[in-house]
Amino acid sequence: MYPRLEINVDKLKKNVAVVSDICKSHNMDMAMVTKSYCAIPEVVEEITKENVDYIADSRVENLKSLSHINLPKILLRIPMISEISDVIKYSDISFNSEIKTIYKLNEEAKKHDIIHKVVVMVDLGDLREGYFKEEELLSVVEEILKLENIKLYGIATNLTCYGAIIPSNDNLGRLANLAKKIENKYNIVLDFVSGGNSSSIYLVQSFEMPYGITNLRPGEAIALGRETAYGKILEGAYQDVFKLVCEIVENKEKPSLPIGEIGVDAFGNKPEYEDKGILKRAIVAIGRQDIDITSINPIDKDIEILGASSDHMILNVSGCSKKYDIGDTVDFNVEYGGLVSAATSKYVHKKIVYGEYKKVELAH
């Protein structure tokens, strides 16, 4: 069935092993982030066999679907008060930046007679979540240590996600120093000092990761086989784990310029067109409701993406050596945005591929 996202689990397992080896070789554990492909259980079951220490995701719903997998589970997105009950049920560790939320977690954990672990987020300049002022961070730590059903598990930071700030020895050194200060001040040991995501891998490989950082949370590096600070390909990793396959539903020659007065399109944008004469245009059955078309690339390099509406994507196939017809399929590589949107869309079917042979269609 089309459109579909094909997931090569053997290649993904290899990428997990490559990234895990990078972390382990520098005495860091790895929290594997599964959100980019919506934590498909059949996929996660396979790849957690490759030296994974934690499963991490931003959605409680995804962690719930992985309850049967015997690994500690981290909720990455700051918990909503409205989901506190599920946070306690389906995550072992949650990332937090509000003491009021942590109080609620403590109350819910007490009801279930469990200890819930929290990681406090530190903002090192990317200006997403976390405590920006050291004195505020320390005062919150002091409050957390008073709670009976909460364990302060560690501290963490996010970089490159919002402000695009590159991880460095300097900013992550500040995180490591804060961890040491907390340990010394309160006579405790932090099990988890997390120095960010896939964008921090280059620091590890260049031997510039500060001492005291004990964890990384790679997601995109595993999915796409590259670090994300500078886009460098990871040696031994695959960049084509995921493939989008779409079916052609119309194949006609038409002018390249729309005819009539141009207004705004369905998404409120006023498009501009270049007159390229008459084009051979193939329409595939996928659109902006399903996919971020700016984050996919045709594997056939002679195909040009002209644009898309909600339901259709228009391709220029004029220069292709292959002759496309209706019913044929077109394959695309996906970037991160394309992967996230395709995996999230219920209209895109998912298929697990084992090597080049066995294929398993997932329930839609």
Q: What is the CATH number of the domain that holds 311?
A: 2.40.37
Host H or E run for residue 245: strand 242-255
- Is pLDDT of 364 > 60? no
Residue 157's pLDDT is 96
Does the residue 140 lie in any domain? yes
Examine the fold and report which residue of 224, 250, 266 is the final residue of a domain before the chain moves on.
Answer: 224
Q: Is the pLDDT of residue 49 over 90?
A: no
For the segment 50-78, the average pLDDT, to the nearest whole number, is 96
Instruction: Tell me, yes or no, whether 64 lies in a domain.
Output: yes
Q: Are residues 218 and 309 in the same domain?
A: no
Check residue 163 and give its pLDDT.
Answer: 82
Residue ending a domain, choose from 180, 196, 224? 224
Residues 71 and 204 in one domain: yes
Q: Which of 4-8, 33-37, 265-269, 311-315 shows the lowest mean pLDDT across its residues?
A: 265-269
Higher pLDDT pick, 295 / 359: 295
Structure tokens at 291: 């996919």
Residue 220 lies in a domain: yes
Do 250 and 217 fall within a single domain?
Answer: no
- Same domain, yes or no, for 348 and 321? yes
What does residue 144 show for φ and ψ, rounded to 5 degrees? Answer: -60, -40
pLDDT in tens, 241-275: 999 999 999 999 998 877 777 776 767 777 777 77
Q: Is 137 helix (H, G, I), strand (E, B) or coil?
A: helix
Catalytically annotated residue among 35, 73, 117, 350: 35
**Which range marks the domain in which residue 124 is found?**
9-224
- Residue at 24 is within a domain: yes
Written in H, E and C, the secondary structure of 6-67 is EEEHHHHHHHHHHHHHHHHCCCCEEEEECHHHCCCHHHHHHHCCCCCCEEEECCHHHHHHCC
**CATH for 207:** 3.20.20.10
235, part of any domain: no
Share of the chain above pLDDT 90, in %: 87
Q: Give yes or no: residues 256 and 291 share one domain.
A: yes
User: What average pLDDT does the segment 229-251 reach?
Assistant: 97
Q: What is the mean pLDDT of residues 123-143?
A: 95
List the structure tokens of 111: 């009801």
255 and 212 both lie in a single domain: no
More confidently predicted of 241 and 127: 241
Domain boundary among 175, 195, 224: 224
pLDDT of res. 361: 56
Query: Quick one: average pLDDT of 165-170?
Result: 93
pTM score, whole prediction:
0.93
Which bin fits 268, alpha (ψ -120 to 50), beta or left (φ > 0)? left
As for how many domains the chain has, the answer is: 2
Q: Give pLDDT, residue 247.
A: 98
In this structure, are 186 and 319 located in the same domain? Answer: no
Q: Are residues 185 and 115 in the same domain?
A: yes
Name, in order, each residue with C-beta under 8 angstroms of 302's C-beta and a sequence gap of 6 or more: 317, 319, 320, 321, 322
Do 97 and 159 fall into the same domain?
yes
Tell me, yes or no, whether 219 and 299 share the same domain: no
Residue 133 falls in the annotated catalytic set: no
Q: Flag whether 233 is in a domain.
A: no
Is residue 141, in this structure, part of any structural domain at all?
yes
